[in-house]
A and B are shown apart, each in its own frame.
Chain A
Amino acid sequence: MISPLQNPAYLLPPLLAALLSVLLGALVGWRARWSTQHRYFALFLLGNGLWSLLTYFMRTSPDTQQAVLWERALVPVALIISPAFYFFTVSYTRGEVFRGARPVALAFIVAVAALASAGLLIDRMEVKSYGYTPIFHLPFYPMVLMAYLWIGLGLASLYRGYRAAKVYEERNRLLYILVASFFPLAGTIADLFPSAYPASILGNLTFGALTMVAMRRYHLLDVSLALRKGSAYLLVSTLVALPYVAIIIIVTEVSRGISAQPVVLFVLMVVLALGLQPLWGLGQQVVDQVFFRRRWDLVRTLEELTRRSRSVADLERSAYNLLDVIPSVVPTEGFALLLPSDGEEFVSVVASGASLAGLHLSQNSPLARWLAKHRRPLEHYYLDMDPLLLAMADREKQLLVASRAHLFVPMVLREQLTGILVLGPKRAEAPYSVDEMRLLTMTSAQAAVLLDDARLYRTISSQFDRERRRLEAFEAAARRLALAEDPKQALQGLVDTARSLLDARYVVLSLRQYEGAQEEWIASGRVTAQQNGGGPSGDGHGDGDRVPPPDASLNVPIKGRGGSVGALYAVEHSGAVAFSEDDQRVLVLFAVLAEVLFENIRLYSAVEHERGMLAAIQASMAEGLVVLGPSERVIYLNPAARDLLGLAGGEDVRVDLRELLLTAPLEDNSRAALEGFVRAVKDAAGTVGTAEVQVSGPQPRELALTAFPIPTATRERMLGLLLRDVTHEREMERRRDMFVSVASHELRTPLASLVGFSELLLTRRLPGTSQKDFLTRIHRESLRLAGLVDDLLNVSRIQSGKIAVQLETVDLRPLVEETVEKQRYLSTRHRLVAQVPPDIPKVRADQDKLVQVVANLLSNAIKYSPQGGEVKVVVSHEPELKRVVVGVSDQGIGISEEDQAELFSKFHRILRPETVGIRGSGLGLYIVKGLVELMEGTVWMRSRVGEGSTFYFSIPTAECPSDKGESGALRPEVGRP
């Protein structure tokens, strides 16, 4: 027979039970921070462990003396743990301990301890076939009964909990504990009978085993994870320690062979240990990946979720990301994300599982308020238990029940409930573990932040979009306005854009260009009379719309700087949201634009007007105007200047003045003079200078230049150059000078005779014949001088247009005949003939002037035929030309062609040998021409050298109406060749 003391079946159970209980107790105790139930259970388990350990020592005692000592220690422990069991079960099933339970338990413990120390519980130990067995004293039995009472109460509460448990997992857990508890109970009862096999330890063992199963399978107390972790770490630590151990052994073996310094050995070991350090981290990772796959996955998924959501600002996408993540956190059958809607409700935004899709919850619902207050997940069965939640409306509760929502996880951000994660039942109807709920809380917190970010982003983004659109529209409108050519169109565009930006029904701009001007209206949109508050209907274009819309909710006045006055009105759509401050700002901006536009229009038209006037003035100037800017660059040339300088028209002449000079075809001396002039003006810096230049080319000209400074507001120097065409003036001057010089010459000649001869008469004693001769000469020359003076006066008057011509009807016949008669005295050698047809019509002429003309021609004819001969006056009529022609012909020396060309000009004298001795002023024919032209006639001549000449003039007949009038005021250019 094996000694019971060596029987492994006797010794092993308590040891195993102790180990198991201690392990479990430790595990639960470690979790004891979480709740009271864990604490009590840990206490219970540790108590069990202690009991089992003491039992082991008792069973390994060599004799009964020892055994009794151990028995006396372990029995109180066994008794004391019974209230712990009761407290554990009550707290696990969330019940309430009976009133006074704690003091009673305390009393019980004290009593047991007292009795045990007095040795009143255990009498002695007896050896049986299976081992030791205790013999109890009497006080033991009431104590044991009390202990059973505690256990019984505990079991009762377990049973109650089991019955009440709705969740399958919960029921299973409770069942297991219930069943597990029976074993030690049964065992202890069996041990009361000394003959029975000590079964209590076996009961403990069974209890421990079943508890472990419950923990593992049904997540009792959520220590399954800890269990796994514990076992994993144990395994890993062992694996990691093995190399260390191996190293130590190797080193020891090696160092035995060689006499190595201990220090070296130490260092070697440290190095090796450090070398293996990374393995520790790797080991951790491997442990996580292998043993805690789900957790590992979860962490990775959360990280992934965070990463993805950071780059997604879209609300819906974030929500859908969550949808992906939740199933990897917990194996749930469905979930829904409830977010606040515009109303007062949380509505399901995304959902998996049809039952949860239609879920909604009022924001004032007790559930929402509970979640907001407690900020932790709520399991669905609490809806019936929590007093706060009992107030929930039936309809709501039914909805929740119908949708099979099992867990509500609040999303809290900034102390506000921003959403609810609703989870359906977990797979296999298991309850959501604390770990899972913690993970869900973390996820929901993250989700809350992400969704909030997305919402914020969306709000800001849409606001920003709106602002940007407005700004763009405004900018586009401003640009259009800046480029618009038609101001009316521009204003219409402005009003239209304002209306679309504000989304208004009607926008109208009223404008008065200046005080007292007609008010103008430009509108966009339509408004009916009814909408217009009883005012006129229309679109701002008709005549009846000239009143501001009475229900314009926006009204911005406009004041232009030019005195224009107006206002912008806007009317919103009925039922639409009233205009916001932003809208008002928009309208103000448009009013500013309108102001700018008015001002621009006004300025532009003023400038255009000025410019037009200036351009007209400059273009119509006969003088040339050149404006030179800094460094004598040509800024402006008016058309006259171009013409005068002989420049091609049209092209821009932005050249230096010097270059300008080079292109103009100036005479060389003029060029030099001009350069000198320009230089002088430059240097003079501000005084006026003049010069004269000659422009050659197809139209040679003489130009007078005047330079004058143009003062400018800046310090730039601007020069103006005025070009006057003085060609004609100079020509006239030259002629006048010539005239004066020739006239004075002509006058001097007779004067010389007068002075000379008279001096001779006065200073010398002369014979009578000489005296007579001299006096005759003096007389003659005086007469000549008188005639010359008369001629000069006539010429002067003709030139200045101061001759008055009295046109009347004149009968030519008597006039011609009389004049011929009067001139007969001039020469005895000539035969004067007048041929006037009897039917010659009357002419319109000045009688006296006509006589002068005829007399002049006759005297010329006589003078220029010194040999004598016939001088004939022939009068003829040219009816088709309505004129009468008078011809005076002589048979004299004739006139050369060169002389003919210049014959009628002033002072032309024929200088030929034949004319030596013929006296004349050279003015006669000029006067004839002048007078005839005054009478609207013409002169011409025909002659050949040596063959005499005939001079003709025509006079209009009397019925031809004069186009000069009776007074005959004339152009001063009469007689210009």
Chain B
Amino acid sequence: MKKVMVADDEEDMRALLAATFESDQYELVLAEDGIQALEVARREKPDLVFLDVRMPGLDGYQVCRALKHDPATARIKVVLVTAMAQDHDRQRGRDAGADDYFTKPFSPTKLLAKLHELLAAE
């Protein structure tokens, strides 16, 4: 069973993402801010994390970078989800090592498909 983590400071977003991924196939863990996200990731070692960029504490880029640089968590796929949609934001995401980048609003169906894709590639 694959483990998916969702980190976002907004409760609605957490609920949405949880609702999107909830199924028998995946185990879900949640985080509410950047620091928590890093802790949980290290502890739970999910296969994929969805990170909001705008979070208190550490922002999504910082968390992503930290995960990717840590050999223990480097294999975790990171998808950044955010309202910031400009080219330089995407570039930042790529520089941080993210595997993908989704802008809000997004279609949950598409997000799910991306999840499948990324996890199947293992």
Contacts and interface: CB of A to CB of B under 8 A. Distances in A.
Please determine whether chains A and B interact with each other in the same assembly.
Answer: yes
Interface stretch (A21-29, A530-538, A749-757, A871-879): A749-757
B20 A748 contact: no
Given A753-B13, A759-B108, A770 B83 contact: no
B91 interface: no
B19 to A, nearest CB: 6
Interface string B82-93: 011110000000
A770 B19 contact: yes
Interface residue SS majority, chain A: helix
B56 A748 contact: no
B25 interface: no
Contacts of A773: 15
B56 A752 contact: no
B19 A774 contact: yes
Interface in A922-941: none
Interface stretch (B4-12, B38-46, B67-75): B4-12
A777 B56 contact: no
Interface string B34-52: 0000000000000000000
Contacts of B56: 911-913, 915-916
A781 B12 contact: yes
Given A760-B20, A912-B56, A749 B104 contact: yes
Contacts of B11: 917
Nearest to B9: A916
B57 A741 contact: no
B120 to A, nearest CB: 21
Contact of A913 (B16, B33, B86, B107): B33
Interface string A801-844: 00000000000000000000000000000000000000000000
Contacts, number: 70
A762 to B, nearest CB: 10
A479 to B, nearest CB: 74
Contacts of A744: 83, 85
Nearest to A747: B83
Interface in B77-122: 83-86, 103-109
A770 B18 CA distance: 12
Given A748-B83, A760-B19, A917 B9 contact: yes
A753 B12 contact: yes
A763 interface: yes
B83 A753 contact: no
Contacts of A912: 56
A745 interface: yes
A741 B84 contact: yes
Contact of A759 (B12, B32, B103, B107): B107
Given A745-B83, A770-B19, A913-B57, A752 B107 contact: no
Nearest to B16: A756
Q: Give the bracket for the number of chain B residues in contact with chain A.
A: 20 to 34
Contacts of B83: 744-746, 748-749, 752
B108 A760 contact: yes
A756 B9 contact: no
B12 A777 contact: yes
B86 A741 contact: yes
B112 to A, nearest CB: 10
A913 B109 CA distance: 31
A911 B20 CA distance: 27
B21 to A, nearest CB: 11
Nearest to A914: B56
A754 to B, nearest CB: 7
Contacts of A748: 83, 85, 103-105
Interface string A770-781: 100110010001
B5 to A, nearest CB: 17
Nearest to A774: B19
A755 B104 CA distance: 9
Which of A749, A760, A770 lies at the interface centre, i.e. has the most chain B CB atoms within 10 A of its CB?
A: A749
A879 B28 CA distance: 62
Interface string A897-922: 00000000000000111011101000
A304 B72 CA distance: 136
A864 to B, nearest CB: 15
A916 B12 contact: no
A759 B19 CA distance: 11
B84 A755 contact: no
Contacts of A749: 10, 13, 83, 104
Given A744-B83, A912-B56, A913-B33, A752 B104 contact: yes
A745 B16 contact: no
Given A760-B19, A916-B56, A752 B13 contact: yes
Contacts of B15: 773, 777
B73 to A, nearest CB: 23
A765 to B, nearest CB: 13
Nearest to A777: B12
A669 B106 CA distance: 39
Contacts of A911: 56
B55 to A, nearest CB: 8
A748 to B, nearest CB: 4
Nearest to A750: B12
A530 B69 CA distance: 120
Given A749-B10, A913-B33, A916-B33, A756 B108 contact: yes
A755 B32 contact: no
14 contacts: A744-B83, A745-B54, A752-B104, A756-B105, A756-B108, A760-B20, A763-B109, A773-B15, A777-B12, A781-B12, A916-B56, A917-B9, A917-B10, A917-B11
Given A752-B83, A756-B20, 11 more contacts: A745-B83, A749-B13, A753-B13, A756-B19, A760-B19, A763-B108, A763-B109, A774-B19, A777-B12, A916-B32, A919-B10
Interface of B: 9-13, 15-16, 19-20, 32-33, 54, 56-57, 83-86, 103-109
The 3 closest A-B pairs by CB, nearest first: A752-B104, A748-B83, A755-B105
